[in-house]
Every structure is written in structure tokens, then in C-alpha cells.
Amino acid sequence: MGAIRKRMLVAVVVTLATLFAMALAGCGSSQPASSAPSGLASVSASGAASSQSSAETSAAVGSSTASAADSQVVVALSTESEPEAGFNPIINWGSGEHMHEPLIQSTLITTDAELNFHNDLATEYSVSDDGMQWTFKIRDDVKFTDGEPLTAADVAFTINKIVSEPAAETDLSMIDHADAPDATTCVITMKRPYNALLYVLAVVGIVPEHAYSADYGMTPETTIGSGRYMLEQWDRGQQAIFKANPDYYGEAPKMQRVVVLFMEEDASLAAASAGQVDLAFTTATIAGNTPSGYGVLACKSVDSRGIALPVVPSGATVTAGEDTFPAGNDVTCNVEIRRAINAGVDRQKFIDNVLNGYGTVAYSVGTGMPWYSDDMEVAYDPAAAEKYLTDAGWTKGSDGIFEKDGKRASFEVIYSTTDSVRQGIALEFANQMKEIGIEVKTTGMTMDEAMPLGYSTPVVWGFGSNAPMEIESLYATTGSFNVADYSNETVDKYIADALTQPTVEESFAYWKNAQWDGKTGFAPQGDAPWVWIANVDHLFFQRDGLEVADQKPQPHGHGWSVLNNVDQWYWK
């Protein structure tokens, strides 16, 4: 699966500090009357409460009693949040599909709740006039947790290692190499100008060149970093425990210990109901079952749900790394089908019926952002949807489903069996499509099973970061998430021009033209290779008395990003 993950799940984290006065708000919390943190009961990862001795429970997840409440937090995240390759930034820790600050390792720069940039390891940085060289000055007072100093050589090593690592999910393909001419200077030489490099590097954790090995990040002993926390314990499939780094060069964390449990949706609810956790992920389908002593923390996100619609006929193939996958779909390859789908979707019904109000309508992964084009918006119009089909020669059969040349307007949609929201979206989508004469059959499977089928079968995907570069990932011919197998030379040209502008702000017009320039683009009235439905709120059951710091707009990946500033959390 490595090759397809590399192609399909690589994402770029770009946060545009000066642009988010108009962007998403942080988190809202509605909480019932306060109650004291209770002792912990044991809840298994599969969901059922079990009886363990208090000693066993404490060994497994620590204690959340009043005596420890001022220095520890217990958090339940989904099983998908557990890093397959360990806590290794070279592979996917902190980046890739689920983007977040790496906690254990330091980054060159960081962003705050308003997405303003702040120096971390870097003390200053500059870029050459031609955009082909970036220079970072590195602070000289940082040590790794094994006592060795962190230098510019470690920064260069990390970047070069990611560039050369086939399994890396951080896309640094725009970089040629990095050098460290001295202990406090790192120079990055580019393959091409890339006006958003700073934003990519904001989630790249720096690893120690002297201690990096194939098993880095797999055990506390091999996970050497310089960040706010150290890995204290990792029981694969169950939990990871972090403790504050006593030698951290920045402000000491208020929360000294962070216990993360990996659970399915129902287990997370059970854990909160048993008083075992202080913050537990949940979804819109079950958030109404808020346990006593908890409120709902609703974090706004740029985490979009949409369905890719393969644009080529079946029989095609796509090569990713050393693997080849079937591509194309004989129904969605018809542009009138894709346009009809976009016009026939009542997006607000998804918000009301599936998300229970915990989300916002989306027409794109960048809905409302400065690079977003209003031409992506399409009104719910079932009559217009059917007209797209009848104008193209489709006629309704006796069962109300359109047909043309012996081909029924019928296709399969895959959803993740571990995500009740995606299942709900798939079922609601099928119901709405039937109303306009398109038959959708829904199938549930794991995402690992779905990924090889994604080039030929529509899938309910989750995707999103606060970055215009997602347009490149999704819609460029060579895009890392181009599961629709979409290709448009004019769109490719706009995307290339956008990335080479002197500043990100100057690129907006090009991103908008890629969406629709009046004649062509990937907007719903154009090639329509995706149908976007909603941005989902990231929801958590939050124990009364726990103060969670203001959150950034959260990217795709309902998990680690909420812990970006866990060091600033505290108990009232």
C-alpha cells in the first residue's frame, strides 16, 4: 500500500497568516454544570467496559483523579490516528494525510491560533529573488533529549531524508537538496520556485542525524527529539503516553503528561460515559449522546467530504510507484452525469440529516478561502440535473433510472466502515441521486481496501488543509490525490503559474482561473471531476473543568491536530 499512499495521501500544509480574519473560527464549547473528574474505569479499544483493578487501570492509562488533574490529560483518538510507521516525521508523523504539529520534535516555525507565523528553531529566514534558495538561521541553544545539540546539519539531514524517502508522505518534491554550511545556517535549494515552502515546513519535525535509524520512532528509546514532549510509552493498538520534556528550550508545558488512547467511535463514547477520559473524539451521528459531566467541543475545520468521479472510461490504469491500479468508470466518465450529480445534490440536507448541524456546506475544499472562486457554487436544481442528462440523450427507464445506449446511469459508491458519518453521507447521496434518476449502490469497506479501487470507483473521501495547493493535489494531471484521473492542460498551466508567483497572494487569480476561466476548468459547469458536500466539524466530548486552548481551523484527520497546543491546556 505504500505506493498508493504516497500518491494519494500526500498533502501540503499551508497556512496563510494574513488571510484568516475571514476564515474559520476556532472551537466552540457548550458544557453542562461542572463536576469533578472521576476515577478511571477500564474501557477496551473495542468499546466494552471491563473490570480491572485500579492498579491495572492506572498502569494502562494513568489517573485522572483530582490530585493529578492539574498536570495530566487523557484523550481518546480514533484508531486511524495511531501512526503506522511510529512517531517518525520522515515517514508520516505530523504530516501526510493527518497533518499536525509533531509534539516530540521541533519545527523550523510554528503557527498560532490565528495562523500567524512564529519562529521555533529558526531565528530568521529569507528567500532569493528568483525563489530558488531559502536560507534559515537556526538557534544555538537547543538540545535533543539524549543531550546532543541540535544544529543546522540536523535540519538539512531531515529535509534531505524526506526528499529521498519513497515512503515519506510529506511532499518536498519541490526541493532539490539542503545544506548546512555552518552549525546555525541551513540553505535549501529548490528544483522550482514554490511560494509556500514555509507553510510546508511548519509541520516537519527535525530528527537527529546522529541517532536516526530504521527503527526511529518505534520505541521511547529510539524517539529522540527536541520538542515539548517525550514519548514515555507506546503500546501499539492501545495507547501512547507523552511526558513533558524537562530540557525544552521554550515555555514549560502546563500539561505535564498526555495519555492518548486509540479507540473506535463506540469505544470512545463508552470511555467518556465511564469517566475514563477527559477528551474523547466523537462524530455528528452520536454527539447527541453527551455523557453526564461532559460538554461538546466543536472545532471548525477545513476537513471536506466529497466524492471523486473518475473522468475516463473503464479499462484504464494508473501507476503509483511500483504498483498499477485499475482506473476509469463507464458511467462517471460522462461529463453530463458529473454535472447532473453536482446540480442534484442538496448539500444542506447532508448538514441537517447526517451531520446534525455540525458542519457547513462545501462546494470545494477551499470554500470561502481567498483563492476560492464563486464559480464553484452550484444551486440545488433537480430539474437542471435531469436536463443535463436528457440533452445528452439519456432517457428514463421504467424504474425511473436514466439509460443511454444500453448503459444504466448506475454506479457504486464506497464508504469507510469505521466512519459513521461517511456511511451516512453515502446513504443520503444514494437517496438524493435516485430522485434525479441516477442509481447509486453503496458498499462499506476499510479505507485500506478502498484505496486501490479509488481510481475506478467513487469513494466518500475526507480531505482538506488550509492551503490553495490542494488544488494541485486534486486536479493537476500529476496531482498526488488525482483519483478522478483528471487532466486539463489549461488547468495545469494555471496551477503551474500560481505556484511560481512571487507571493501566495499574487497566486490567487491563477487558482481561481484553474477552477473556471469562463471557458474551461474543474468547476461544476465545467469538467466537474468531484462533487463536494460538506466541511465537517471535529467533535469531542470534553470533561467539565478542562480548558482547551483556542484551536486553529483543523485540517483533515479528526485526531492529533486538536493536541497541537495541548501544552497550553489546563484544569480549572
Q: Answer whether residue 21 is part of any domain.
A: no
Q: From 178, 203, 227, give the residue that closes a domain.
A: 227
Give just the sign of the alpha carbon dihedral 352, 357, 363, 364: negative
Question: pLDDT tens digits for 239-249?
Answer: 999 999 999 99
* Residue spans of the chain under pLDDT 50: 1-26, 28-68
491-495, long-range: CB within 8 Å, 24+ apart, which pairs? 491/520, 491/521, 491/522, 495/471
pTM of the shown model? 0.77
Q: Answer whether residue 5 is part of any domain.
A: no
Q: Which domain holds residue 439?
A: 304-536
Q: From 227, 255, 281, give the residue that closes a domain.
A: 227
Q: Answer whether residue 141 is part of any domain.
A: yes
Residues 437 and 409: beta-carbon distance below 8 Å: yes
Residues 216 and 316 in one domain: no
Residues 132 and 163 in one domain: yes
Q: From 198, 227, 256, give the residue that closes a domain.
A: 227
Residues 279 and 389 in one domain: no
Q: How far apart are CA 134 and CA 503, in angstroms?
A: 14
Q: Which three cell numbers stand for residue 165?
A: 524517502
Q: Which three cell numbers stand for residue 231?
A: 514519548
Residues 279 and 562: beta-carbon distance below 8 Å: yes
Q: Answer whether residue 10 is part of any domain.
A: no
Q: Is 572 exposed, middle or buried (0-12, 13-18, 19+ CB in 10 A)?
A: exposed
Tell me, what amino acid is at 176? D
Q: Answer whether residue 179 is part of any domain.
A: yes
Residues 120 and 167 in one domain: yes
Residues 377 and 512 in one domain: yes
Residues 318 and 277 in one domain: no
Residues 287 and 308 in one domain: no
Residues 529 and 477 in one domain: yes
**Residue 9 pLDDT:** 33
Residues 160 and 279 in one domain: no
51 vs 42, 43, 57, 274, CA distance in Å? 6, 9, 9, 11
Question: How many folded domains does the chain comprise?
Answer: 3
Label the pairing between strands 133-138 and 117-119. Answer: unpaired
- CATH number of the domain that 526 lies in? 3.10.105.10
Q: How far apart are CA 20 and CA 151, in angstroms?
A: 33
Q: Answer whether residue 431 is part of any domain.
A: yes
In the block, residue with C-alpha cell 452550484: 378
Q: Which three cell numbers stand for residue 551?
A: 484551536
Residues 249 and 310 in one domain: no
Question: pLDDT tens digits for 205-263?
Answer: 999 999 999 999 999 999 999 999 999 999 999 999 999 999 999 999 999 999 999 99
Q: How far apart are CA 332 and CA 52, in angstroms?
A: 53
- CATH number of the domain that 39 lies in? 3.40.190.10
Task: Return all residues near 508 (Cβ < 8 A) that are at least 6 apart.
Answer: 370, 371, 468, 498
Residues 109 and 153 in one domain: yes
Q: Answer whether residue 343 is part of any domain.
A: yes
**Residue 100 pLDDT:** 82
Q: Answer whether residue 1 is part of any domain.
A: no
Residues 415 and 442: beta-carbon distance below 8 Å: yes
Question: pLDDT tens digits for 275-301?
Answer: 999 999 998 888 889 999 999 999 887
Residues 397 and 415 in one domain: yes
Q: How far apart are CA 568 and CA 572, in angstroms?
A: 13
